[in-house]
Structure 1
Amino acid sequence: MSGIEINKNLKIAIEASLKAGEVIMQVYDTAFDVEIKDDKSPLTEADKKANDIINTFLKPTPIPIISEENKQTDYSTRKQWETCWIVDPVDGTKEFIKRNGEFTVNIALINNGKPVLGVIYVPATKTLYFADVLKQQAHKAQLNSHNTTIEEALEQATALQTKEVTNNVEVVGSRSHMSQETLDFVEALKTSGKEVKIVSKGSSLKFCLVAEGNADIYPRFAPTMEWDTAAGQAICNAVGVEVISEDTKQPLLYNKENLLNPWFVVSKH
């Protein structure tokens, strides 16, 4: 698979995610403290250290950054950005604190509101997902080390393949947030004659399940922020999976005035 050509920004994002993964696992293997942020979400040293490392990779690019752990730039400035990075240094901090391995590093490149590149790295298993939406290419690589070179990662990468549509529907549910609306959605599928199975996962891995053919649909009827979804949407979009807003019935858009996402459904249309 070493014939994969990747663009410069995707390469930078992959390198940043691997280095962030390394420091995250260093914290994971210690007795770490948990702070509670103003929005009641948890924060650990891993979030801060990973954010610092990712910033050192992305800041030399001329592209501005929206990161969960950076101070947010005012929308009057942001709305003039044609291109920006959207970063979650540790997506699934709750999973990190529970030490169940289901947390990720998310880095996406946005152009005119749409994800064009995406990287999701799973530090606990050293699993790397990366995608170029314009090329319609998404890959997964199982790495041996956080210090793997880009060349080695590309050699180990295989193309993602979505699932064939059948009457057996695998629905992705959240480890930490199963809302009543999601349960109603599942019931509606059953009523339409589908055999439904729930697959649980934490963090942005839910997008990966659909993109790599291990699930059919991921309904999210609970709050998420842009940095929770941008990289996952890029990986899904690259293999023909849509991430559709329940409000607009259009794909989710990014660098909005309010960085909170509407509810959405991830599936092949």
Structure 2
Amino acid sequence: MNKLLQIAIKASLEAGKVIMQVYDTAFDVEIKDDKSPLTEADKKANDVINSFLIPTEIPIISEENKQTDYNVRKTWKTCWVVDPVDGTKEFIKRNGEFTVNIALVNDGKPVLGVIYVPAVKTIYFANVESNKAFKANLDSHNVTVETILKLAKPLQPKNNSSNKVEVVGSRSHMNEDTLNFVEDLRNEGKEVEIVSKGSSLKFCLVAEGNADVYPRYAPTMEWDTAAGQAICNAVGIKVISKETNQPLIYNKENLLNSYFLVSK
């Protein structure tokens, strides 16, 4: 297995361990300048992940790190893109649907990706170059990479030939663009079912064949999507910008993503 992928896997497990230590306490919630919530788990997980990634001497873009000026970043050929706790709102609700996202980006494209779901100890990981992505259900955060490889099962997207389309979205509220997307499918005669998940697990739903398409008509940042895109790309699922009609790219001057569509 790729050495950098191994490091990312180990970092995600250790981050998951400290996240769950906070999850099981009465934690405080801060509100950041952009109005998004921040908990002790975000900060502790970020410190743990940095401790694994800094020794690789590859620069890091993390939601919880101070962002490096683009004049410096634009010289980076390779970088890590990290969200220590993706789905902090899910974490605060204690519904378990939050993840650790770690991706390696080369020339703007995600090439390795890890998504760890600490509440249920499920890990997804992918090497885009080898066209392989896997999922493993673990008994503990304290497992070796060798154990993970033994438990890992390859991800297989749906080969949908039926009239039913499973769309990743919110069961309780969808914005107008997403509703229009669903309505267009229905106008084509499709039977639409909405499948709901929090955080980057939305990408995993499509990559592992539990949904057909994920339309995202709401703001996301690069750290929300890089690992999920790697996992999808490794199994032939595209993540296409609605602005450029090209795959989402990373380490942009503005780290905000355009709206996008995840599908075959």
Q: For 1:180 and 1:51, how far apart are their aligned partners in 2?
A: 35
Q: How far apart are residue 137 of structure 1 and its match? A: 0.4
Deviates more, 1:9-18 or 1:158-167: 158-167
Unaligned runs of 5+ in 1: 1-5
Q: How far apart are residue 180 of structure 1 and its match? A: 1.3
Q: How far apart are residue 23 of structure 1 and its match? A: 0.3
Kept in 2: contact 1:103–1:202 (CA 8 A): yes
Q: For 1:65 and 1:53, how far apart are their aligned partners in 2?
A: 13
SS state of the match for residue 84, structure 2? Answer: strand
Say which of 84, 89, 100 aligns to 1:89: 84
1:225 and 2:221 aligned:
yes
SS state of the match for residue 131, structure 1? Answer: strand
Q: For 2:171 and 2:65, how far apart are their aligned partners in 1?
A: 26
Say which of 72, 78, 84 aligns to 1:77: 72
Q: For 1:178 and 1:49, how far apart are their aligned partners in 2?
A: 32
Q: How far apart are residue 62 of structure 1 and its match? A: 1.5
Q: How far apart are residue 176 of structure 1 and its match? A: 7.9
1:179 and 2:201 aligned:
no
Deviates more, 1:165-174 or 1:21-30: 165-174
TM-score by length of 2: 0.98
1:254 and 2:245 aligned:
no
Say which of 114, 120, 129 aligns to 1:119: 114
Q: For 1:243 and 1:176, how far apart are their aligned partners in 2?
A: 24
Q: Tell me the number of residue pairs that the alignment of Structure 1 and Structure 2 aligns.
A: 263
What is the correspondence of 1:1-269 to structure 2 with a 5 Å cutoff?
6-165=1-160, 166-174=162-170, 178-268=174-264
CA deviation map 1:17-50 (0-9, x unaligned): 0000000000000000000000000000000000
Q: For 1:36 and 1:180, how far apart are their aligned partners in 2?
A: 27
RMSD: 0.9
CA deviation map 1:50-102 (0-9, x unaligned): 00000000000010000000000000000000000000000000000000000
Kept in 2: contact 1:176–1:202 (CA 8 A): no
Closer, same or farther: CA 218–54 of 1 in aligned 2, 3 Å: same
Q: How far apart are residue 175 of structure 1 and its match? A: 6.6
Closer, same or farther: CA 174–51 of 1 in aligned 2, 3 Å: farther
Closer, same or farther: CA 177–153 of 1 in aligned 2, 3 Å: farther
SS state of the match for residue 86, structure 1? Answer: strand
Unaligned runs of 5+ in 2: none
TM-score by length of 1: 0.97
Kept in 2: contact 1:104–1:205 (CA 8 A): yes
Identity fraction in percent: 77
Q: How far apart are residue 179 of structure 1 and its match? A: 1.5
Closer, same or farther: CA 236–51 of 1 in aligned 2, 3 Å: same
Q: How far apart are residue 178 of structure 1 and its match? A: 2.4
Closer, same or farther: CA 176–79 of 1 in aligned 2, 3 Å: farther
